[in-house]
Amino acid sequence: MTLNGLVIRPAHLGDTPTLVALLGGGQTQIHVPTPLGTPPRTAWTWVQDWQERRLTYLALAAGRPAGLIQVRPCNRQHSTWKIEQVVAADLDTGTELMRHCLDEIRPARTWIQEVSHPDEQALSLCRQHGFHPLAQHTYWHLAGPALQALAAHPTDAAPLTPVYPGAARLLYQLDMATMPPLVRQVFDRQIYDFEVPTWEYHWQRCQAWLGIAPSLHAYVYEPQRQCAIGYLRLQINPHIAGSHWADWVVHPAYTWLYPQLLGHLARALQGREAQGLYLASADYQPTREDWLRQVGATPVAHTLLLCRTVWHKLREGRFAGLDPLQLADVLPVFQPAHPPVPSRLEMDGRRRFRPALETHLVGK
């Protein structure tokens, strides 16, 4: 596609040297400044992009690379997409790349993007395309001494259950309970977004059994309420040494699970705790941020989550709070004074139903 002298096309495997040069060329970059950094492009990276449905578009000016943009869907129905990074020589090129994605990906009803909080250049580019703030994220780093202290914390009160393919409904309910209504509507996740393929489940179990890498993907089950109240997943970045990443979710009513879950993570990283662990928290989770400060975590990055919604593409849905209500409960005056008395009906010669009492009186 050609826009204002730029040729924008999907990237392919032969563009790997060009993408590496753009990512390391010192140009204007608008992306999530996570502590993990950007891994190098390899052949395995293209396989991961295909699995996650990640799309990369390359912009060419007079046959030379001028920028790239990378997007991916946030759910399986592809209603919400995330702009992971934009690399461009100037703001005009970045604008054309973003417009290309907004016009090209038709199923997207909502777009989200995460930028560095003090980056005014990135914020101005997002505001030009209708993005508005949704939440603030803080990335934390737990050093070795803090992990060693957490590893000594008892974790018997929160036993872990491995995430199996049938636990999607439990994880969906937990995810819905931890997000505000507006954030929940933007991500638009369904139960099938939390399904784990059978092959992935068995592969993770084999990794844990063989001890190849500390693989931890589990949740905490509450038998009385029959629901999941905590979830965690440990990720090891093979490209950057010491970049251990943990994704964890805790039900707002069970904040005592914080040291329990981090204790499980610290024990899984025994022998590697000197490299540290990275975590993330949102501004609508103040108890989590206070607790991370208490255990000695250090904030390393602050980002602003922005969203852009195409309102005419939103699905119509009933408000969940009104579903259990019945009309008789809202308007009691319309309730009958007593239950109706059944009567026998007869059919006259004109093929109409008449009460038996009326027929008797007419006969007299």
At 237-254, the pLDDT tens digits run 655 555 688 999 999 999
Tell me the mean pLDDT in the region 260-272: 87
Q: Where are the domains of the chain?
A: 2-137+309-313, 144-295, 324-363
**What mean pLDDT is reported for the chain?**
79
Range of lowest pLDDT (38-52, 114-128, 182-196): 38-52
Alpha-carbon distance of 314 to 305, in angstroms, equals 20
Band of pLDDT at residue 306, cut at 50, 70 and 90: very high
Higher pLDDT residue, 348 or 276?
Answer: 276
Strands 110-116 vs 80-88: parallel, antiparallel or unpaired: parallel
pLDDT over 60 (residue 312)? no
pTM over 0.75: yes
* Tokens coding 183: 């954030």
Query: How much is the pLDDT for 52?
Result: 76
Render pLDDT for 42-68 as a digit per residue (tens, 0 to 9): 555 666 677 778 899 999 988 888 889
- CB neighbours of 56 closer than 8 A, spacing ≥ 6? 10, 11, 19, 49, 68, 69, 70
Which CATH architecture does the domain made up of 144-295 adopt?
Answer: 3-Layer(aba) Sandwich (3.40)
Domain 2-137+309-313 sits in CATH at 3.40.630.30
Q: Do 2-137+309-313 and 144-295 fold alike per CATH?
A: yes
Give the pLDDT score at 71.
Answer: 93
Query: What residues are paired with 280 via a beta bridge?
Result: 139
**pLDDT, average across residues 352-363:** 45
